[in-house]
A and B are shown apart, each in its own frame.
Chain A
Amino acid sequence: MSEPILRIEQLNKSFGALKATREVSLDLYPGEIHALIGPNGAGKSTLIGQVTGNLMPDSGRIFLAGEDITNRKVAERAQLGLGRSFQISSLAVELSVRRNVMMAIQATQGSSFRFWKPVRSDSALLEPTADILERLGLTERASTLVAELSHGERRLVEMACALALKPRVMLLDEPMAGMGSEGANRMVAFLAELKQEVPILLIEHDMDAVFQLADRVSVLVSGAVLAHGSSDEIRNHPAVREAYLGEETD
């Protein structure tokens, strides 16, 4: 088996007396979607915060493509190829869809200290932008202001921005949240295709989507990994059903 692209080793994080993350180890291999599920307060956000670099773990290590990134800053992790979409929309709503994605493309091409050439006719920016918008089915919305988009469409634009950065790993925090069923279906289809290109660590509440998409599922309860396995294994795991899916085992 190939090397994992993202590896988390025995992470621990406490807030005072509360142990929010306990001895969590996870990995993510090329070509797969690894879903992280758990009830509210299970410590998913804390764990994700440590992976993105917004929170520092008390102990444990995080590797991206074999490199130890535990002590790297957010922007450095982004440059090393850790892509993410935010739970809270973080686009420039005053600008068009195209302009938002173009800025991400520009960031990957290095210098923003170019003062002369107009971006509106810069094919080095426009072409990759058009490609990404087409993949996400946003071509017709390219000139629309983000402020005028539906919530679901904004999530797609965020996805486009995250993809524009050509990440090696995608960290998706509830990408389906607030989407209508049509939008959610579109997102599921897109993610199923995307995983071949970029492996995905997925945090999602929509269980249908998780079981449909995930190659592997880890269940987080009270900060610790309760169970880990394929979608089917997790679906039928008695302890998981009791602890998370809220069913009495018979």
Chain B
Amino acid sequence: MTTVLNSLKPQALVSTLIPQTREHWINLLLILGLVGAALLAQYLGERFYVNLASRIAIIAMAAVGLNLALGFGGMVSFGHAAFFGLGGYVAGICAYHAFNMNPALGIGFLPEGTNQMLTIWAFTLVLSGLLGLAIGKISLGTSGVYFIMITLAFAQMFYYFGISWPAYGGEDGLPIYLRNELPLIDTNNRLTFFFVAAAMLLISLWLSQRLMGSRFGAALTMARLNPVRLATTGVDPQPIKLMAFVISAMITALAGALYADLNGFVGPNMLSWHFSGELIVIVILGGVGRLYGPLAGAILFVLMETWLGGVTRYWQFWLGLILLGVVLFARGGLLGLLAGRDKDV
């Protein structure tokens, strides 16, 4: 009770909001930069760039999810596209049935879809949590390169399933004709939708921060650094890692649901291994296991994709060079480069 009261005191609140270290300053600048860019683009009437900011926020959120497994838990998942796509298809399928007013899966007693984002998000969280539990449970029996391969295999199963299921567009994907809705908010407004995406990103960042600062986070860190040590203290590392994997899957899936709404479209490309790879690249670019690393990485990645991609078809060559540079010379990624070593030890 006292701790709750303490955190409500104005001084305490202010001291948590004012950055204490260089890393905090950089984190704040990243967020303010993203929000500022969206506002500026809106002011200048640059619709494309408002949507680009939304895209960055959503991709960053997906990467925040992956960072929990990959960065903090040391589980190199090459299959997070499965969760991202799952979220996308939940949004797409719900909207499809709401638009056509026919029951889900053609079964009479199932509801006729929904265009409410809150309901869609709840579905997404439940389904991705269950899928994460199943994939995580099986995959965590392995480690190292086998873990990478088995998560990839699961994601590919969903990819080919998505391609070959004609009911929801198959290879062509599924359009969302009307963006799904939130109570009291006009999600069709570009800037408003950006703020929804940015708020979700901030919530997921805040959640990971709390999580990693808690006892669970301490155990997860030890499970990554020295699982034998954790076991000899009498704590089994497997359930800890599994829980982190499930939460990671849920965050990435929620980002997927937003992504489908942003684009008004969901297709098998959201399930493809390219996207799993891009998420890993983003996490590494930004700084593995750094809280705001995924945001830094997503900004860099999406801007390069947009601008370099406009200049040359071979932009991924340059991305590859940068990635090589990060892996060889800046192991802490962009955040490591800007903010130095992680001080929270």
Residues on A close to B: CB < 8 A? 74-75, 78-79, 84, 90-96, 99, 102-104, 106-108, 111-120, 122, 125, 143, 145, 161, 165
Contact = CB atoms under 8 A, between A and B. Distances in A.
Contacts of B211: 115
Nearest to A158: B229
A115 to B, nearest CB: 5
Contact of A104 (B216, B233, B239, B344): B233
- Decide if the interface of chain B is mainly helix, strand, loop or mixed: helix
Given A107-B235, A112-B219, A143-B345, A117 B214 contact: yes
Contacts of A118: 210, 213-214
Nearest to B216: A115
B345 A106 contact: no
A75 B228 CA distance: 10
A91 B345 contact: no
B173 interface: no
A78 B232 contact: yes
B243 interface: yes
Interface of B: 3, 210-211, 213-219, 221-222, 225-226, 228-236, 239-240, 243, 344-345
Contacts of B213: 118-120
Given A91-B226, A103-B219, A78 B210 contact: no
A100 to B, nearest CB: 8
A95 B233 contact: no
Contacts of A92: 221-222, 225-226, 229
B234 A107 contact: yes
A103 B218 contact: yes
A75 B231 contact: yes
A161 B233 contact: yes
A101 B234 CA distance: 14
B345 A145 contact: yes
A116 B231 contact: no
Contacts of A108: 233-234
B210 A90 contact: no
B231 A113 contact: no
A221 B213 CA distance: 50
Contacts of A95: 221-222, 225, 345
Contact of B232 (A90, A112, A117): A90
A107 to B, nearest CB: 4
A91 B215 CA distance: 18
Contacts of B239: 113
B26 to A, nearest CB: 20
Contacts of B229: 90-92, 103, 161
Nearest to B209: A118
B301 to A, nearest CB: 27
B221 to A, nearest CB: 7
Contact of B218 (A90, A106, A145, A165): A106
